Structure 1
Amino acid sequence: MIRVVVADDEALVRSGLRMILEATGDITVVGEACDGAGAIGAVTRLAPDVILIDIRMPGMDGLTAAAEIGRLPDPPKVIMLTTFDLDEYVHLALRAGAVGFLLKDTPPRDFASAVRTVAAGSAMLSPTVTKRLISSFVEKGPSRADVARRRLAVLTYRERQVMRALAQGLSNAEIGRRLSMSEATVKAHVSHSLAKLGLANRVQAAILAHDADPLPLEST
């Protein structure tokens, strides 16, 4: 059972998310909070696997709370929620340690899918922001590209192929179809690459690979 805390200043949103998630049978909402301080307290008391936390809340906001939660021992995976599809919020959320970012108008089934995805150790971004985030997260320059290529030089040929596909915003299933490998093999390549590169999640890897564009497949 995946244990979740929901933090949002609107009671209706909290109750709606609880209803959506607990209808799945494999997710339980163990606590709620209406502000950032409450979210930190709930995480400390309840040790959830995942926290869904609104970016904009009174008092301590979700971004500040996410950063504090990330410094706790064995912190939960953080999914940020917002009604605003704005790049600056995505960037700030990722810097605060979030591994997921969803708009509140996301279809109900996708909330449960996101919780399962991040609980399993992968990153999850709303499909409406993923590709734009990768292309606009940082301004690229020759020196940044050179640094990225040097970092990626530790990867094998297949791992670089997967990184190149990640930079295009493809899912594991899409990468598998493109490269004629199973989804499990793609996941293994991503995990090995993250370990080699010292990265926390696939979003960071995709951004690094995008920085290196064009990413050479041969050894450098």
Structure 2
Amino acid sequence: MIRFEQVSKRYPGGVESLADISFDIRPGELIVLRGHSGAGKSTLLKLIPALERPTAGRVLVNDQDVGRLPRSAIPYLRRSLGLVTQDSRLLYDRSVLANVLMPLVIAGLPGKEAKKRANAALDRVGLSGYERAMPITLSGGEQQRVAIARAIVNRPAILIADEPTAHLDADYADEIAALFRSFNEAGVTVIVATHSESLFAARTPRRLTLSHGRLQA
């Protein structure tokens, strides 16, 4: 499903974020990506949805070389992916429901079906009844749940999360980790970057560790 083949990423000025990275992720796996701050975790995750392009090597998603996709094809790639970032990146001038609806509106899904899917996604993350709430009135953990609902509303086969519990207290972090585990149990391929060694220990996921841009054995 996802393959990195000798991938490197260098930024202007010669800064090397990733060096000669190779690995495969099979459908239905739960992958925990570990590493110190600055190890290259965020860069690696951004290569999958073509938010960044590799300097060398290939990133394959469902046999597509995403680093060479034309700009016009990238939105179609991203419809098969769910993306969750450290900060929720919600639109605070729109309701919870409007935030979750956004990917479906962009995809052109009819209004009735879009609303049905958005409500189902909110129910899935435990926020049924919050449709009219404004994000600013929610706790940090609830805001992150809204972001997760937005990420899964397109029913993606792959869910990518970059430190989704970084700004949450321990109880909220456990709840968010449990959500990702439940998505994986339902067959979604889940890739999570995290500093926490304990959040996903119960599932004994496969772990990938980065150190200074290199994958550790």
Asked if these proteins are the same fold (TM beyond 0.5), I'd say no
Larger RCO, structures 1/2 (Cα 8 Å, 6+ apart)? 2
Question: Which structure: greater helix fraction?
Answer: 1
What TM-score results when the alignment is normalised by the length of structure 2?
0.33
Identify the structure with the greater strand proportion: 2
TM-score (norm 1): 0.32
